[in-house]
Amino acid sequence: MKITDVLTPTMTRCDLPGASKKRVLENLSSFITEQLGGDAEQSDGLFQKLVARERLGRTGIGEGVAIPHCRAPGFNRNHGCLIKPQKPADFHPPDHTPG
């Protein structure tokens, strides 16, 4: 598998709105499902799964980087998304630098 099989140019976004972790995850879910032709129900399901995954353990890895991830209904293969939020959001990384 190549990275281009998972992460495509349409799945990248700079200045995604949201200043909190919850808002970033919500907007990320909407962005992903829009790009994949999904609907509001699928977006909400993805958001709920991302939030549930964050409750299991932080996805912030440090130096302003976080890797939120989950399995969600309606997604039958791996998808990647690269975003940069408009404002740093705190994903609780080990170095305490908002991601």
Q: CA 58 to CA 33: how far, in whole Å?
A: 23
For β-strands 65-66 and 60-62, DSSP reports them as antiparallel
Cα angle value 57/2/44 (rounded, 5°): 45
Report the catalytic residues: 69
